[in-house]
Amino acid sequence: MDLNKSIKKAKRKQLLIIGCISIFSFFVLSGIMVIVLDRAAANNYFELNKSLFDYQAIASPNTQIDSQVISNSSILGGEVVTNQSKNINGYIVPWSNLKSRYSIFRGSVDYNELMPSWYQSSKNSYEYNRQTKQKIATFYNPNIENYYDDVENELDEFNHMEHSVAEVALSFDKPYSYSEVKQMIPENLNVVWLYLFSEERDEHLGPSGTPIYGFQLNVNEEGDIDPQADKENFFSSFKAYSVPMNNKKIDTFIRDNEDKKVEELKILGVMVTGQGENLVRLKDKSFVRGSSIGVTAPIVPYITPEK
C-alpha cells in the first residue's frame, strides 16, 4: 500500500516537472519566435525604407520626402507613410503621399501611386499625379523621334500667366555637358534636376510609362550646391535600386557612367523653376526641343520667390 502511494506520488511529481518544463519551453520558444518574426519584419522595413529613398533619389524630378513614418505596426509588419512635397522657386506645394507595406515576408511599394495617370480628350493630352491631380511635367528623350501628340512646347503659355512661379521640364535637342547647361540656363532660374537616362520605347501611341532617371541638385542653407556629391549619391542609389530589376540597359548605363565626373555626363534635359516672366524667355532657345509645365503656384505678398 505504501509502495503504491509512493509510486503515485512519484508520478505526480514527474508530471508536475514535465508540465513546468513544457510551460517554460513554450514561453521560451514563443519569445524566440517573437524575436525572429520581429527581426524579419524589421529587416524588410529597413529594405523598404531604403528602396523608397533610392527611388526618390533617382526618379522623382523636383520631389522631396518631408517625412517617412511607420503606421499600424506589429511584429508581423506594418505600413510606411511617405509625405512628399515640391519646391517651386521657394513655394512648397504638397505632392502625393505614398503608403507602402512591409511584413515578415517582404516589403511592397505601391507603384500604382508612383506612376502618373494619363488624361486624354479631343482638346487635351497630359499626365497627372493620381492624388494631387496636378499636371506632371513631361520629358522627351532626344533619341525618340515620334511622340504621341508630338513634342510639346509650353513656355509661351507664361505670357498668359502673370505673377506665378512654376516648374518646367526642358528637354534638349541633344545631350549637353553640365558645364554647357550652366551657361545655357539664365541666372534668374533654378536648375533643380538633371535628366540623364530613360529607356527608348515606342511613344507614338501614348505614354509608355517609362521612368525618367536623373538626380536633384540639392541646395544647402548658404545657397550652394555640390553636383559631384549629388551625382555619386544618384549612382549609389541607382545601383541598389536596379539590382532586382536585372535590366541590361540600366546596368550598361550605370557601368558606363558611374565613374565619370559630373562634367562628363551627358545631360538630356533639366527641370527648372522660376517666375513665369523669366521662364518664357527660354521659348526661342535652340537647345530646347520640348518644354512641359508641371506644378504652378500664384505669387503671394508674404512669400518671396528665390529668384
Give the model's pLDDT for residue 115.
83
Q: Is 4 helix (H, G, I), strand (E, B) or coil?
A: helix
The Cα–Cα gap between 120 and 96 comes to 21
Whether residue 264 has pLDDT greater than 90: yes
Give the model's pLDDT for residue 260.
94
The three three-digit cell numbers of residue 107, written as one number: 516589403
Given a contact cutoff of 8 angstroms between Cβ atoms, the answer to whether 307 and 274 are in contact is yes
Give the model's pLDDT for residue 287.
96
The Cα–Cα gap between 109 and 245 comes to 14
DSSP E strands, the chain: 64-74, 77-88, 91-94, 98-103, 107-108, 117-120, 125-128, 164-176, 190-197, 213-216, 267-275, 288-298
pLDDT tens, position by position, 111-141: 777 888 888 888 888 899 989 999 999 999 9
The Cα–Cα gap between 137 and 116 comes to 11
Lowest mean pLDDT among 12-21, 230-239, 294-303: 12-21
Closest CA to 283 of 94, 152, 156: 156
The Cα–Cα gap between 69 and 197 comes to 31
Give the model's pLDDT for residue 11.
66
Neighbours of 36 (CB within 10 A): 12
pLDDT tens, position by position, 182-231: 999 999 999 999 999 999 988 888 788 889 999 999 877 677 789 999 99
Give the model's pLDDT for residue 91.
96
pLDDT tens, position by position, 11-58: 666 666 766 777 766 676 666 776 766 677 778 888 888 888 999 999
Residue % of the chain over a pLDDT of 70: 88
The Cα–Cα gap between 65 and 80 comes to 13
Mean pLDDT of the chain: 88
Can you say how many angstroms the Cα of residue 248 is from the centroid of all Cα atoms in its chain? Answer: 21
Whether residue 157 has pLDDT greater than 60: yes
Give the model's pLDDT for residue 28.
67
> What is each CA distance from 264 to 73, 176, 177, 252, in whole angstroms?
45, 9, 6, 16
Give the model's pLDDT for residue 114.
81
Q: Enumerate the domain spans of the chain.
A: 116-298
Span 282-286, mean pLDDT? 92
Whether residue 1 has pLDDT greater than 60: no
